[in-house]
Structure 1
Amino acid sequence: MNHLKSYDLVVIGSGPGGYVSAIRASQNGLRTALIEKYKTLGGACLNVGCIPSKSLLDSSKYFFLAQKEYHHHGIFFEKIFFDFQKMMNRKNQIIKQINNGIKYLMKKNRIDLFQGIATFKTKNILSISDTTSFQEKEQITFHNCIISTGSKPSKFQNLNFNIHNKIISSTDALYLHEIPKKLIIIGGGVVGLEIGSIFSRLGSKIIIIDSMNQIISNMDQSLSNVLKTILEKSFIKIYNSLSILDIISENPKEISVISIDKNDKKRKFTGDYCLVAIGRSPYTKNLGLKNIGIKTNSKGFIVVNDFLQCSINNIYAVGDVIGKKMLAHKAEEEGIHAVEHILGQKPCKINYNLIPSVIYTYPEVSSVGLTENEVKKHKIEHNIGIFPMKLLGRSHSSGCTDGFLKMISHKKTDQILGVHIIGEHASDMIMEATVAMEFFSSSEDIFRISHPHPTFSEAFKESALLNFEQQSIHM
């Protein structure tokens, strides 16, 4: 085996968890290789997820605002229209630019790239096969390995998913060549709401069907209630507590979804496309995990310990493939954590409770820490301060007065336990909460800090005062 290329670390998968861990390893002196199945780097996040969806969300938002809001600012158009293909071209160009940026980082950090399918032969040898012929191209050896192969959109079991190309995944939705007249979305989570927002702004009639009793069921219920009201004002119809019985096509131009509620009442929804957005499943195909005894759980996620080691201790796994929060920034933190453990350092244990979540609707939604239901479930004595965005001067000047900031703190210690925001720039505002909670700040700490005026961040100060003294300056 002396002729095989040998590495201190081999990373499988070039998504956020993969390429970040490869860079971190190389920066610390490890001879590092990165294996990617696809021709482009960046994983699902860059190519079929975070980046393309945010690009289209921004494009469609500007069109929506130009139609509905700019006249309030004294801005008028003789004629307004959009070029969908140009929007898609812009999105594709952004992906290309960022992909080239990742390639540059690989070269800068002297990371060897391999394009192909990685399969474990032993706990120290990987086979790399051609993605078309599946013929082995070469083998490489490694001391340590990080699996960062991500996830794929989940599918319903035992349902026909090839009906006239009318049943689509989130990947398909981001590469459509036309605007659906009527789009049925199964799933009221982040993906369904964001893609629904894109096409709603561009003229599609949107129907969202969800099996839970609230949309964004992993977030605070107050966020769900307000967001649902806002989206329904934008002509997005949302139906909760419905289970899917079947998806059928009665003619080549239409697709129908048959659902049933808790009272066994059936409903039929018909559109020209059906987007299935019911979550994501770990992608471990062709890795050969069983070849070396790497354990997975009942849902297919790779089982890891607190150091992110698999059942084979020189092999680690990070990101979507191990479950928990399926977020790009969570994968990055895990990738760095795994590398630091490989280096013999003592990285801090990842606090998954303090990894913020964001939904890029309009207005945005963000959340970190415990929800109100969770503190009640754990019988934690608490205070809650809710400050409406409409009471901020910045909200009125921006033209977006919807939403609120909700802070939950411990009743006795005043420590901040959770912050939940719906409003303009919520994706940026959540970081003040995250930093504060990482340093065990109290609501009084936040109230005592000067916040610039006029900004949206003033809602954080006002909510803190509500928690600390049960009163607010501007409410």
Structure 2
Amino acid sequence: MKKIYDLIVIGSGPGGYVSAIRASQLGLRTAIIEKYQELGGTCLNVGCIPSKSLLDSSKYFSLAKNNYSSHGIFFEKLFFDFKKMMDRKNEVVKNINNGLKYLMNKNKIDLYQGIGSFKNKNTLFLIDRKSLKEKKEIQFQYCIISTGSKPLCLSHLNFNIKNRIISSTEAFHLKEIPKKLIIIGGGIIGLELGSIFNRLGSKVIIIETMDKIISNMDDSLSQEMKKILEKSSIQIETSLSVSNIFRESHEKISVLVKDHNGKEIKFVGDYCLLSIGRKPYTKNLGLENINIKKNKKGFILVNDKLQTSIKNIYAIGDVIGGKMLAHKAEEEGLYVVEHIVGQKPNELNYDLIPSVIYTYPEVASIGRSENEIKEEKIKYNIGIFPMKILGRARISGCTEGFLKMISNKKTDEILGVHIIGDHASDMIMEASVAMEFKSSSEDIYRICHPHPTLSESFKEAALLNLENRSLHM
């Protein structure tokens, strides 16, 4: 007798595996279909986890080289072992992979290796990834598509280490530190990977077509981050359009760009890393077999309940567009599962999904930028508190950056918080909780913050919002 699942999840990235775990907890007979041998999707295997592992390793080396002497710590011969760093990264990924397998077993979730392709709205073909031959059919009541995204490449190029044109995926498999690395794209991926290789000795050039880096965040973050990166010797070039990328020689690659006047400039490096965005991954899903609709860019169209054009089939995460973040996919997965079982989860508030860049110092943002608030013609107050004034920042030696809080001038409700500073990724959660409960800047000011901590910047920025003055500035 064939198994009929209450829920099938296609894809085991953060959105997929979290959906499956929650579904099993709520009593649904659940299975996951995963194309690759390992669970975890892009985030775990070639994204968030490996990048943060290398960011940590390279940060420690950079601090030892440039900062530890001020603490009275000296090294006779400081060096790094790139292979050891990569081995550690692989071990971190392996351990988390094993943890996911344990969670699947613990929650009695069936795992199928292969490609899930729709036969009809209640049946999937399980297809072998290599031969593309059908292995079996799986029936379900509900399905969640969580197949993620892949790096975008220019139409006439392919990612290949030997050809010296790479994406973030190939960057995590390099055997050497490039002497000169050209990165096209000044977003999160470009800045994080640029930071890793810069710390390890690469000359890094970041080329951005827009007039600023991290253009999807508040302008103040972009301006401050540019100063910090350039201070660390990363070269940033903005407002340039790429006209050609070609092999200069066996070991060199050239990037031709044009400025706003049409003048052509050539950059030559060992590798060119493209971080120009990502595209939804829907290959071999058989969406056309059941008429699941996509937009012009290939993202699956969903309604406010995350249902596709076939109501018992949902889609979440990168494959539907929006912020391509692991935690956004997780929240969407939880929302869908709880909706399926008849609970009434809160509507997803995409304004309150934090964005983080794990450079040093880190960048974190939530809510609306100052430009967005201006466009909405909302009168606002603003408080910007420099990290260098905090005792904790001086103790740690990371004094760069600031916390910027924006609130509604009339109601004092917090509209946006934007941070550059040490541990910004952790600090942003105070803003996230506050804004979820529609707190005012006065609420933040009235809360006792421990001293000495970086979180005191919240209290100071809140007082600046309220009275245009702070306690320590």
TM-score by length of 2: 0.99
- How much has 1:250 moved relative to structure 2? 2.5
Where does 1:101-112 land on structure 2 (aligned, <5 Å)? Answer: 101-112=99-110
Q: Does 1:50 pair with 2:30?
A: no
Partner of 1:455: 453
Equivalent of residue 217 in structure 1, options 215, 218, 223 = 215
Q: Distance in 1 between the 2:465 and 2:346 partners?
A: 30
Q: Distance in 2 between the 1:95 and 1:374 partners?
A: 38
Q: Distance in 2 between the 1:199 and 1:99 partners?
A: 26
1:16–1:42 Cα contact (<8 Å) kept: yes
- How much has 1:251 moved relative to structure 2? 1.1
State the percentage of identical aligned residues: 71
Change (3 A) 1:161 1:335: closer
- How much has 1:174 moved relative to structure 2? 1.2
Q: Distance in 1 between the 2:49 and 2:417 partners?
A: 25
Q: Distance in 2 between the 1:5 and 1:165 partners?
A: 47
Q: Does 1:33 pair with 2:31?
A: yes
Deviations 1:253-280 (A, max 9, x none): 1000001111111110000100000011
Change (3 A) 1:420 1:132: same
Q: Does 1:278 pair with 2:272?
A: no
Where does 1:195-214 land on structure 2 (aligned, <5 Å)? Answer: 195-214=193-212
2:160–2:170 Cα contact (<8 Å) kept: no
Partner of 2:319: 321
Q: Does 1:8 pair with 2:6?
A: yes
SS at match of 2:142: strand
SS at match of 1:140: strand
Change (3 A) 1:95 1:159: closer
Q: Does 1:88 pair with 2:86?
A: yes
1:392–1:454 Cα contact (<8 Å) kept: yes
Equivalent of residue 61 in structure 2, options 60, 63, 67 = 63
Q: Does 1:229 pair with 2:216?
A: no
SS at match of 1:29: coil
Change (3 A) 1:39 1:386: same
- How much has 1:5 moved relative to structure 2? 2.4
Where does 1:297-376 land on structure 2 (aligned, <5 Å)? Answer: 297-376=295-374
Q: Does 1:153 pair with 2:155?
A: no
Partner of 1:139: 137
Partner of 1:472: 470
Q: Distance in 2 between the 1:256 and 1:466 partners?
A: 49
Q: Distance in 2 between the 1:379 and 1:348 partners?
A: 28
- How much has 1:163 moved relative to structure 2? 8.5
SS at match of 1:285: coil
Partner of 1:190: 188
Q: Distance in 1 between the 2:175 and 2:163 partners?
A: 13
Where does 1:233-252 land on structure 2 (aligned, <5 Å)? Answer: 233-252=231-250
TM-score by length of 1: 0.99
Q: Distance in 2 between the 1:221 and 1:171 partners?
A: 29
Q: Distance in 1 between the 2:91 and 2:246 partners?
A: 36
Q: Distance in 2 between the 1:117 and 1:161 partners?
A: 23
2:163–2:247 Cα contact (<8 Å) kept: no
- How much has 1:159 moved relative to structure 2? 4.0
- How much has 1:6 moved relative to structure 2? 1.2
> Over the residues paired in the alignment, what is the CA RMSD in angstroms?
0.9
Structure 1 gap segments, 5+ residues each: none
Q: Does 1:113 pair with 2:111?
A: yes
